[in-house]
Structure 1
């Protein structure tokens, strides 16, 4: 496996030059676009890695999977999906037109920004800090990494430039989709997106999902049913408006983030964490997509 990963990473390196780092969040624009790495965690506890696997990056939209799990634990599946839908979208992840697409005016799914903001509003806690700490501690638990923290520079950068997210949130507030202070909800959302991780951390999240909600320590984190729903939504919505193409060519549940990470869960086999800050036009890691495509072909990972 180590040899396979080394070869794939080097073969895919040229694809980093075909993307650009996210620039609409100023702090993310500072990332090295040449970075490319992967970590694989099998359900037997074996771990393999290649490239710049230890590069630290902010989790960004991969946190949407984490907050969805926590919202389900706090409220139950039925209530969560009365506030957000399960349908894919052909529009971009931060599009406001998505909110007009659903007859009930709820976000189409939890993996777009509007849906994730609605999900964050459901997480229990009396203060911003309590909610953010619960998300952080939950992330530490499922990754097995007690040192994960929030990158304050990225958080402040996101907060200063998050006007489109504010527009989405206030629109939902006006339609009664979210309750409470919009600015407080967004603050928690920005903090969740700004958690700093490595490819190992997100591979561990993927492994838990691949294992039907059970950690490598055999502790159950979420129900099998919730895990099944989350993995299905990852297949249909996890790669934004490129999810269909990703499903056809790679065929595994995955979630990307504009920090360059992609978290993937191969049911009953492994979790995969890939990092490559250079993004394609859809907001997904250009090199990371290619790594997963070649690995899926090499190991026959597609669930279809």
Structure 2
């Protein structure tokens, strides 16, 4: 990877990339969650946060949107701290499913083991494996790590949470399958309910860029200065993101962009450049895999312009 350009050049790149792709046509808002379907589809943002804490941003940077599946990275980081990478791999897995993020078939084909903490089944198993004595303690620990990773005022949206809790029947079924196979480590409905809450928090694009910059900075938040993740746990998190971070498009993302990433159906997407920066983008319209159409193009353009592909 090349050295980073000047601050002026980085801001110019962010501005230019945003202008090029913020109005890109294609994709549709997630419709299976009523709240997400109502988010204005013209919203868009792009943010870089370097490992030194410098911020470069453009677009709707103040807009707070649903974190959705990007929350899985935060919970995974917390679980790594609780039980260590090898226990995560043993109990949950480190393989791509090759199927959609909410696939029941993926579970059935692998004896109800989730394979990845970054699909819905594995995320609920991750929630259930956290050290906690109650649902509320489990939830508060997750909310706390989201705040520490982002150095932001992450809050639960009651509106999003209600919208998701009243439509999460598919996930409830997955939770019971996990429990029946011994792969859910607390009450399955508690795991599903807390998982649904963790997906219902509100973040900005900068929050996501700080989260990815924290992973880029060996687990130390470059804004707050806090060591949130043990350095030795960062590489396994990035490996999981490479395997399944963009669901069944993850292999193509690695092929085209070459950076560990994580998407959410709220329209957010982050990518980690180890030792250098975090990049995040946001725009609600999604492709068939559940990844933001515009966010993918914005981050891919930044990575290409700066020669950030890890395999290049």
TM-score (norm 2): 0.93
**What are the Cα deviations for residues 211-251 of structure 1, in whole angstroms up to 9, with x where unaligned?**
12122244322222210011111112100000011111111
Whether contact under 8 Å (2:267, 2:286) holds in the other structure is yes
Matched, 1:97 2:108: no
Q: Distance in 2 between matches of 1:180 and 1:131?
A: 11
Q: Distance in 1 between matches of 2:161 and 2:99?
A: 25
Q: Distance in 1 between matches of 2:249 and 2:310?
A: 18
Alignment of 1:1-40 (within 5 A): 1-15=10-24, 17-40=25-48
Cross-structure match for 1:152: 158
Gaps of 5+ in 2: 1-9
Whether contact under 8 Å (2:85, 2:236) holds in the other structure is no
TM-score (norm 1): 0.96
Whether contact under 8 Å (1:53, 1:275) holds in the other structure is no
1:13 Cα deviation from its structure 2 partner: 2.5
After TM superposition, the runs of 4+ consecutive aligned structure 1 residues lying more than 4 A away are: none
Alignment of 1:226-241 (within 5 A): 226-241=233-248
Supply the RMSD in Å over aligned alpha carbons: 1.2
Q: Distance in 2 between matches of 1:43 and 1:226?
A: 17
Residue 111 of structure 1: SS of its match in structure 2? Answer: coil
Q: Distance in 1 between matches of 2:112 and 2:154?
A: 35
Could you tell me which of 104, 113, 120 is aligned with 1:106?
113
Cross-structure match for 1:51: 59
Whether contact under 8 Å (1:101, 1:108) holds in the other structure is no
Matched, 1:196 2:196: no
Residue 272 of structure 1: SS of its match in structure 2? Answer: strand
Residue 232 of structure 1: SS of its match in structure 2? Answer: helix
Matched, 1:252 2:224: no
Whether contact under 8 Å (2:81, 2:233) holds in the other structure is no
1:64 Cα deviation from its structure 2 partner: 0.4
1:179 Cα deviation from its structure 2 partner: 2.8
Whether contact under 8 Å (2:129, 2:186) holds in the other structure is no
Alignment of 1:110-129 (within 5 A): 110-129=117-136
Residue 121 of structure 1: SS of its match in structure 2? Answer: helix
Q: Distance in 2 between matches of 1:191 and 1:60?
A: 9
Cross-structure match for 2:146: 139
Residue 22 of structure 2: SS of its match in structure 1? Answer: helix
**What are the Cα deviations for residues 143-178 of structure 1, in whole angstroms up to 9, with x where unaligned?**
112x21101111111111111111111111111111
1:124 Cα deviation from its structure 2 partner: 1.9
1:108 Cα deviation from its structure 2 partner: 1.4
Whether contact under 8 Å (2:112, 2:177) holds in the other structure is no
Matched, 1:172 2:157: no
1:89 Cα deviation from its structure 2 partner: 2.1
Matched, 1:291 2:298: yes
Gaps of 5+ in 1: none
Q: Distance in 1 between matches of 2:131 and 2:201?
A: 19
Between Structure 1 and Structure 2, how many residues are aligned? 301
Cross-structure match for 2:309: 302
